[in-house]
Chains A and B, each alone.
Chain A
Amino acid sequence: GENVEQHPSTLSVQEGDSAVIKCTYSDSASNYFPWYKQELGKRPQLIIDIRSNVGEKKDQRIAVTLNKTAKHFSLHITETQPEDSAVYFCAASTDTGTASKLTFGTGTRLQVTL
């Protein structure tokens, strides 16, 4: 089955700096890659996603890149702010239209310091 590895497990950056989180996946049939942010005691919230027919997607300070050949995708957060502090999860899904399963990475705890 699908296996998703995520690095680093913890990341500390200063406010205003950029943060990069990387994930690799094993199933070449995976075609949908969402990123979730989970603040302490709260539910995971989708922040951005990308499909396998797209190489990059941006939404304000957040961007995701996908390299299908290498089977890895990354989350980039620019101009980090204290409210970006949370645990971030990447996930991969094979969407056949009839079956579905999201496999998550183990999470990255991002801390943005002042």
Chain B
Amino acid sequence: KAGVTQTPRYLIKTRGQQVTLSCSPISGHRSVSWYQQTPGQGLQFLFEYFSETQRNKGNFPGRFSGRQFSNSRSEMNVSTLELGDSALYLCASSFRVVGETQYFGPGTRLLVL
């Protein structure tokens, strides 16, 4: 079974730009969560989608948004990028709810200059 995939793997953007990251979950998984990982803040929850609906959201500004498609693939968008948005963005998928095993993708490393 193919694992969670994320594209692109690396991105360099400048302040003020926007970026869209993509996540394809494991086949059959319907829950997709997004996390931001930074050396200073660790792994922080962004949001979780299930069946195209956002079920939970972390404490991030409205510049961070996401969506999920009918095939469970998910995208997250960050608008008006700031230097502090530089991080590794990880998505994770599970079959139904977070209480089931979550499998992480390799992440997208975003650098904002």
Contacts and interface: CB of A to CB of B under 8 A. Distances in A.
A45 interface: yes
Nearest to A100: B98
A103 to B, nearest CB: 7
Contacts of A97: 97
Contacts of B8: none
Given A44-B90, A93-B99, A100 B55 contact: yes
B86 interface: no
Given A32-B98, A32-B99, A99 B55 contact: yes
A78 interface: no
Range class of the B interface residue count: 20 to 34
Interface stretch (A13-21, A54-62, A64-72, A104-112): A104-112
A81 B101 CA distance: 25
Given A43-B90, A44-B90, A100 B43 contact: no
A86 interface: no
B43 A104 contact: yes
Interface of A: 1, 31-32, 34, 36, 42-46, 49, 51, 89, 91, 93, 95, 97-107
The 10 closest A-B pairs by CB, nearest first: A95-B99, A100-B98, A104-B43, A43-B104, A32-B99, A106-B42, A101-B56, A93-B98, A100-B97, A44-B104
